[in-house]
């Protein structure tokens, strides 16, 4: 595991340096941030203020909030994507897990989970946005928050169709495509400033 972490970190550093040298990095350049926030807003969608980012550990959540976060994940992954897998995997309650989300008028609108892993890396997962709030840059805002508040290497398994989007945020592929729950994914990583 330790050797794999170093291999991924080396690949990520080289590829991010190459991408950044071309001026396409996932830095916090205002034009990149603004471009991500543009897009079509679905009719009737309520887009919350991007300053309302919540970042909590499980023991800081009340039962109703945790229920609403899991409900969003189930709506997106189990119902919408038709992946009948156990959404509650035991990682949500670990002390090393952070739940990061933005609320809208009807509760959580966009969410992701960050889990600290061995070797100092952090795994981003369960990135989900309510269907009526998509294409407003909310997931990008959450990822910007994670990039600014999380030390070390960030890793994730991107759904293949989202690889270009994650690449624009500074992530680079670290392996070959694989299928999980019937959906093609690509492992990716992004070093932060202290990596």
Domain with 143 in it = 2-190
9 close to 113: Cβ distance less than 8 angstroms: no
- Is 65 among the domain residues? yes
User: From start to end of 77-136, where are the E strands?
Assistant: 97-104, 107-116, 122-129
Residue 35, domain member (yes or no):
yes
Scanning 46-127, the segments in alpha helix (DSSP H) are 63-73
A 10 A CB-CB count for 187 gives 17
Within-domain flag for 21: yes
Largest CA distance in the chain: 49
Strands 107-116 and 97-104: antiparallel
Residue 156 burial by Cβ neighbours in a 10 Å radius (0-12, 13-18, 19+): buried
* DSSP 8-state symbol, 138: H
> Can you give the pLDDT at residue 27?
36
Residue 12 within any structural domain of the chain: yes
**Residue 126 domain flag:** yes
Identify the bridge partners of residue 156 per DSSP, sorted by sequence position.
188
- What's the angle, vertex CA 191, arms to CA 186 and CA 195, rounded to 5? 145
195 belongs to a structural domain: no
Looking up residue 129, the CATH number of its domain turns out to be 3.40.630.30
Question: For residue 137, what is the DSSP state?
Answer: S
Handedness of CA 180, 70, 122, 143 (dihedral sign): positive
To the question of pTM greater than 0.85 for the whole model, the response is no
- Pairing type for strands 107-116 and 122-129 reads antiparallel
Domain count, the chain: 1
Residue located via tokens 């976060």: 69
Q: What CA–CA distance (Å, rounded) separates 75 from 54?
A: 20
One pLDDT digit (tens) per residue for the chain, 195 residues: 445 444 444 544 444 444 344 333 333 332 233 323 333 344 344 444 555 899 999 999 999 999 999 999 998 888 877 777 777 888 999 999 999 999 988 889 999 999 999 889 999 999 999 988 898 899 999 999 999 999 999 999 999 999 999 999 999 999 999 998 888 999 999 987 665
pLDDT, residue 82, reads 78
> Is residue 70 one of the residues assigned to a domain?
yes
């Amino acid at each position: 595991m330790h050797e794999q972490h170093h291999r991924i970190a080396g690949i990520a550093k080289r590829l991010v340096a190459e991408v950044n040298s071309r001026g396409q990095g996932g830095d916090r350049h205002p034009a990149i941030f603004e471009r991500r926030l543009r897009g079509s807003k679905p009719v009737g969608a309520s887009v919350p203020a991007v300053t309302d980012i919540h970042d909590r550990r499980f023991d800081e959540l009340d039962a109703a909030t945790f229920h609403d976060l899991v409900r969003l994940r189930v709506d997106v992954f189990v119902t919408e994507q038709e992946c009948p897998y156990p959404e509650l995997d035991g990682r949500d309650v670990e002390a090393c897990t952070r739940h990061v989300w933005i609320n809208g008028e009807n509760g959580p609108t966009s969410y992701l989970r960050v889990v600290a892993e061995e070797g100092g890396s952090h795994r981003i997962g369960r990135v989900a946005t309510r269907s009526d709030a998509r294409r407003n840059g909310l997931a990008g805002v959450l990822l910007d928050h994670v990039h600014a508040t999380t030390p070390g290497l960030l890793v994730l398994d991107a759904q293949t169709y989202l690889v270009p989007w994650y690449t624009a945020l500074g992530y680079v592929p670290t392996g070959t495509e694989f299928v999980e729950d019937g959906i093609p994914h690509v492992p990716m990583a992004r070093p932060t400033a202290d990596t």
